[in-house]
Amino acid sequence: MSALFTKDTQAIFWNNNKSAIQRMLDYDYVINREKPSVAAIVAPTADSKFDKFFYGPDEIMIPLYKNTAEAAKAFPNADVLLNFASFRTAYDVTMEAVKLKQFKTVMVTAEGIPERLARKMNVDARNSGVTVIGPATVGGIAPGAFKIANVGGTIENIINSKLHRAGSCGLVTRSGGLFNELSNIIAINADGIAEGVAIGGDRFVGSVFIDNLLRMEQNPQVKYMVLLGEVGGTEEYKVIEAVKNGQIKKPIIAWCIGTIAEHFSTGVQFGHAGASANADAETAVYKNKAMAEAGIFVPTSFNDLPNKINEVYNDLKSKGVISEIAEPELRTVPKTRRSKNFICTISDDRGDEATYAGYPISSVATPETGMGIGDVISLLWFKKRYPKWATDFIETVIKTVADHGPAVSGAHNAKVTARAGKSVVESLVTGLLTIGPRFGGAIDGAAQYFKHAHDHNMTPAEFLDYMKKEGVPIPGIGHRIKSLRNPDLRVEGLKKFANQYFPATPLLDYALTVEQLTTSKKDNLILNVDGTIGILMVDMWRALGYSETEIDEFVNSGTLNAFFIAGRTIGFIGHVLDEKRLAMPMYRHPFDDILYDVQMADEI
C-alpha cells in the first residue's frame, strides 16, 4: 500500500466529537472533495439518528449508529475508523474494528491505554493487516485528499502550512504538536508534505517509524522523508537498518529530540510515556550519531533542521527529482453560517420542477409513466421506488379501507360536523381524530403481535396463551358479522392478491394457522380485514428487503395506521360532500336513543 488515504477515503468516527468532525468537513470543502470524508458516526448513547454539520455554506446530515458493526454494514466502503473513545474503552473499540475485517486503518487518539492491552491490540491489528495510528496521537493527513480530525489546526493554518495540497515530503513524528510545527517548517523551507503521520506518544504504538517510512518509500508523491524521533526506545534503529540494506533509498532527514537529557545526572522522562532512555542506545545523542553514520541527513541541532530540509529539497529540485507544484483552486468556508430549523428528505420544491424523492413530479404524475398513488406513497413515505406488485398492493389497501359505511365513528363524526355548517377540512379532521386504538388501530396491533409471535417461534396455542396473559384481545382476529360460513370478501381479495403476487407470505401463513385455532372455539373469530392488512404489510416489507429492526420502526411509528388514514380520508370526504350535496340540516340526536339516569345532586 503506497498511501494510507486518497480523495475517496471515508471514515467512521467513533464518538461524536463535533468540533473535530466539523474541521474535517471544512477541510473537505476547501479542497473540493466530492463526498465528505466522514460517512457515519458511532454514538452509543445518542437517541438521534443523525447529526447536522456544515459543508461549506450548507448543512449535511451524518447518520448516527449505536455500534461500529451497524455503521460498517451501512457504509461498506468506509475503511478508516477514527477512534475517539476514552482510554477506558478505546481498546475494545479498536479490537471490534479489527475483527470486522473492513477497516484498513484505525486511529486511536486515547492516551494511557494499559500497556498490556496496547501490545495485544497492536499485534492483532498487524496480523490482520490493519494499520493502527496511535495510541496518543492527533492522527495523520494526506494533503489535498484526507485529514484526520484536528491535524493541521485551523483552515488558515492548514493553507499557510501548504497542507491543502500534496507536496514532496513524507513526514513521520511521534509528537502531534511538533507534527503541526514541522509541517509549517517544511512548507516554509520546501514545498510541503505529501503524507504525514504522528505515530503517537505512548510507549507501545501500532504503526512505528519503519512501517510508515517503508510505505512512503513506495509512494511516488514522496520524494524525501523527514523523521522526528525522540529520546527513548529503539525504533530509529530499524530505520537505520533499512537504509543500510537498501530498503529505503529516498533521502531521509532525521532528528531525535531530547539531546538535553545528557546534561542531567539522573534519568528524565520527556512528556510522552515512551520518552525516557533506559540505555545509552536509547538516548537522543546516541541515536542522532548512529543515523548520521548510516547516511541519514542529521542537522547539528533542532534549530538547524529547517536549513537541512531546505538543503535537501533544493538539491532534489536541481536534479529534477522535484518539480514545481501547481496551486489548486480552493473554496472558502463562509465566516458566518446559519443552522436550518427544518429538514426535508422526501421532496424538493426548488429549481424548475419539484421532485418526489428525486423524481420530477411530471415523471410520476403523467399517465404514460404507469406510476400511480402507490408509487407516490412509496417515494414520499419510504424514499424508495417499490416494484409494481408492492405499489399495486398499497393501492389495493387504500381502496379496501376507503369507506366502511356511515355508521362507524369517524364517518359519523364527519357527517355531524358537516351538518353543523363546517367546511370540508373541519369536517374531515373531526373524522380523522377518531382514528386510534379502537378505530383503525387493529392494523398496528395485528402487525405488532403477530410479528412478535412469529419472530419468537410461538405455536398458535402458545400465542393465544401469551395474549391471554397480556390481557389483550388478539388484534386482527374477530368480526361482528362475518364468520367462516360468511367470509369477508375484502379479506379473501387481499389473500388472493398476496398469493398471486407476493414472493412469500410467511406471516400470513402463520396467522392462518392461528385462525384455525380461534375459529375452532367460535366461528366468527376469523382474521379480519385490519389484521390481514397489518400482517401482509409486514410480509411486503420483508420481501422488499427491510431488516426486522426497520419493520419494527415502521410499526411503532404508526406507519400502518397511516395507510388507514390515507384511505379513510377518501371515504370521510365522500360523506362530507354527500351531506353538503343533500343540504342536510343541523343534527340532533333523538331523545329516545339516550338512556337518561340523572339523580339529584347531593348537598355538601
> Which residues lie below 8 Å from residue 12, measured CB to CB, with a gap of 6+?
38, 39, 40, 41, 42, 68, 71, 72, 75, 78, 80, 81, 82, 103
| pLDDT of amino acid 261 | 46
Query: Is the pLDDT reported for residue 268 higher than 70?
Result: no
Banded model confidence at residue 272, pLDDT cuts 50, 70, 90: very low
pLDDT more than 90, % of the chain: 90
| Cα gap 265→70, rounded to integer Å | 55
| pLDDT of amino acid 322 | 98
Per residue in 546-555, pLDDT (tens digit) is 999 999 999 9
Cell numbers linked to 272: 510522552
Banded model confidence at residue 278, pLDDT cuts 50, 70, 90: low
| pLDDT of amino acid 1 | 56
| pLDDT of amino acid 263 | 40
Cis link prior to 135 (omega < 30° from 0)? yes
| pLDDT of amino acid 439 | 84
Query: Is the pLDDT reported for residue 574 higher than 50?
Result: yes
Residue in the structure block whose three cell numbers are 485529514: 147
Banded model confidence at residue 273, pLDDT cuts 50, 70, 90: very low
Query: Is the pLDDT reported for residue 265 higher than 50?
Result: no
Average pLDDT, the chain: 94
Banded model confidence at residue 270, pLDDT cuts 50, 70, 90: very low
pLDDT more than 70, % of the chain: 96
Per residue in 521-561, pLDDT (tens digit) is 999 999 999 999 999 999 999 999 999 999 999 999 999 99
| pLDDT of amino acid 260 | 55
Per residue in 92-139, pLDDT (tens digit) is 999 999 999 999 999 999 999 999 999 999 999 999 999 999 999 999
| pLDDT of amino acid 470 | 93
* For residues 565-578, average pLDDT: 97
| pLDDT of amino acid 320 | 97
Whether 156 contacts 330, CB under 8 Å:
no
Report field, pTM of the whole predicted structure over 0.75 = yes
CB atoms within 10 A of CB 242: 19
Per residue in 446-483, pLDDT (tens digit) is 999 999 999 999 999 999 999 999 999 999 999 988 99
Could you give the count of Cα atoms lying within 13 Å of 25 in the half-sphere of its Cβ?
23
Q: How many residues does the chain have?
A: 604
Output the DSSP codes for 509-526: HHHHHHHHHHHTT-TT--
Per residue in 364-386, pLDDT (tens digit) is 998 888 899 999 999 999 999 99
Q: 278: closest CA among 263, 290, 261, 294? A: 261
| pLDDT of amino acid 368 | 85
Tell me the residue type at 451.
K
| Cα gap 225→230, rounded to integer Å | 16
| pLDDT of amino acid 82 | 98
Whether 94 contacts 132, CB under 8 Å:
yes
| pLDDT of amino acid 369 | 87
Whether 298 contacts 227, CB under 8 Å:
no
Q: 133: closest CA among 186, 61, 75, 82? A: 82
What one-character DSSP code corresponds to residue 142? E
Query: Is the pLDDT reported for residue 342 higher than 50?
Result: yes
Pairing mode, if any, of strands 139-142 and 146-147? antiparallel
Banded model confidence at residue 198, pLDDT cuts 50, 70, 90: very high
Enumerate the active-site residues: 272
